[in-house]
Structure formats: structure tokens, C-alpha cells
């Protein structure tokens, strides 16, 4: 299967490291013009250096709806319609698992804002252009936490990722008549960023072994494993697939 994205414009959020960086690099390598977005400017610059001339940085807070609308308008003015949107921004924002009675309103809302509202705002902004051209690919990056429970123990994270999966299915039906597919990749545990490194290091040797032993393939995945799934959903070959959630977790 030869997947190419020549003459396509792709917008990838959360592109400063981890999954988002791998996705941006993979899209650029396959011919797409990539707009790599994040709030971490220095790390975003590293992504662009790795991805090459086909990739350009955009510092963007996905929780700022007005900022998202303005950013997409600027991209469309410079490059035309966004053909591929990958909503990868998210995470736990430095939070750790705590009992429910200790969770404040701000902590709850912050995780929902970046993991769920951000995906909604970006899709809302690119949808009109995709509708006009009768084509679009939206790929949301959720988590195994959205399908089961979260290793982090963070209630808001599990809930927001489950909500993102629900949003994926709903938008697939709303946008499908316009030739727009909306799909979801749910990664398993991957050592892909500072947060997952801290989680891994916080386990003792037995805990690390148990985690790997519970994976059918008996190994942890890599950001490239997640990027490969996104390449398929974004491709022409996935044109009759929408509203789906693909677990990329080595087998559970």
C-alpha cells in the first residue's frame, strides 16, 4: 500500500513531541504540506527541523476557540483548505491520580479543555472548508483510557478521552454526507513524552514487567506505531471507513 499525500494540507496539533511529532514527520515524508501546532515553541521548532521544508510551525493554544478560528483562517488564506486534521493535543497537564473528593473544578475543566474541547474547536474550524470541497479527513487521538480505565487514575482524563470517542462517532454521521471521514486512534501505553516517562519510572521493575506481559506482542509500542495508524485513516484507501476507533496497543 503506497500512501501519499501530495498536494494535501495537513494540520497536526500537539506536534511538539511524542505522537504529534511522529505524525507530522510521517505526513511530511509522504508529500503533505504540514502545519505543526503546539504551545511549546522550542520543541515545535525541533519537530519542524526533523520534518523538513514541507512542515511549518504554528504556536497555538487549542483551548482558545477564537485563536483556533483565526489560525485556520490564516492557513486557508496561505495554503487553501485543510484537507487532513489530526487532533493530537492533550494529556494530563502535570496532574496525578487523586481521590475524587480532592479534584477541584479548575483541574477537571483544564483536562477537558485540551483533550475534548480542543478537538471540537479545531474540527469546527476546518469543517466549512472541507464541506465546500466535499473531502476531508479528521483523525482524533484518544487513548485506551477512553475505552476502559486510565493507568493515570485521573478521572477527567478517562472521561475526556471517552468523550472524544463519542464526538468522533457523532461527527462521522454529521460530516459523512460531505465526503469527510472522522476516525479515532486509541493508543496503548507508549513512552512518548515526559509524562509517560515519569509514569514508567514510577513503576517498580515488577510493575513494568507486568505491564509488558499484559500486552499480546510483549513489547511497548512507539510513536511511529501510532503514526502508521493515522496514515491509514488519513489516506484515500480509508475512504469508506468512518466513525471507527482503532486500538493501537500491541493487543490486550
- Which of 120, 157, 189, 233 is an active site residue? 157
- Residues 142 and 8: their CA atoms lie apart, in Å, by 24
**Residue 218: which residues within 8 A CB-CB, separation 6 or more?**
212, 250
Is 157 in the active site? yes
Where would I find the H helices in the chain?
18-29, 41-51, 65-79, 105-112, 118-133, 155-175, 194-202, 205-213, 223-234
In whole angstroms, give the CA distance from residue 210 to residue 143. 19
Distance CA 33, CA 132 (A): 20
- Look at the block and give the residue holding cell 519510572: 201
Q: Which residues pair with 176 in a beta bridge?
A: none
Q: How far apart are CA 196 and CA 189, in angstroms?
A: 8
Residues with catalytic annotation?
157
Amino acid at each position: 500500500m503506497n500512501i501519499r499525500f501530495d498536494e494535501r494540507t495537513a494540520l497536526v496539533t500537539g506536534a511538539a513531541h511524542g505522537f504529534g511529532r511522529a505524525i507530522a514527520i510521517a505526513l511530511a515524508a509522504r508529500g503533505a504540506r504540514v502545519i505543526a501546532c503546539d504551545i511549546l515553541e522550542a520543541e515545535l521548532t525541533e519537530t519542524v527541523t526533523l520534518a523538513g521544508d514541507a512542515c511549518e510551525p504554528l504556536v497555538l493554544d487549542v483551548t482558545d476557540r477564537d485563536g483556533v478560528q483565526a489560525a485556520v483562517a490564516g492557513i486557508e488564506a496561505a495554503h487553501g483548505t485543510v484537507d487532513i486534521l489530526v487532533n493530537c493535543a492533550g494529556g494530563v497537564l502535570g496532574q496525578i491520580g487523586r481521590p475524587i473528593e480532592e479534584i477541584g473544578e479548575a483541574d477537571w475543566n483544564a483536562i477537558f479543555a485540551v483533550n475534548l474541547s480542543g478537538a471540537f474547536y479545531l474540527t469546527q474550524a476546518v469543517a466549512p472548508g472541507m464541506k465546500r470541497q466535499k473531502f476531508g479527513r479528521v483523525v482524533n487521538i484518544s487513548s485506551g483510557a477512553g475505552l476502559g480505565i486510565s493507568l493515570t487514575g485521573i478521572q477527567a482524563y478517562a472521561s475526556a478521552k471517552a468523550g472524544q470517542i463519542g464526538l468522533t462517532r457523532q461527527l462521522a454521521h454529521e460530516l459523512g454526507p460531505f465526503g469527510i471521514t472522522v476516525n479515532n486512534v486509541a493508543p496503548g501505553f507508549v513512552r512518548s513524552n515526559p509524562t509517560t516517562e515519569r509514569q514508567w519510572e514510577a513503576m517498580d521493575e515488577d510493575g513494568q514487567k507486568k505491564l509488558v506481559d499484559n500486552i499480546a506482542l510483549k513489547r511497548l509500542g512507539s510513536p511511529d506505531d501510532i503514526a502508521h495508524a493515522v496514515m491509514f485513516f488519513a489516506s484515500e484507501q480509508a475512504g469508506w471507513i468512518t466513525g471507527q476507533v482503532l486500538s493501537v496497543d500491541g493487543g490486550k
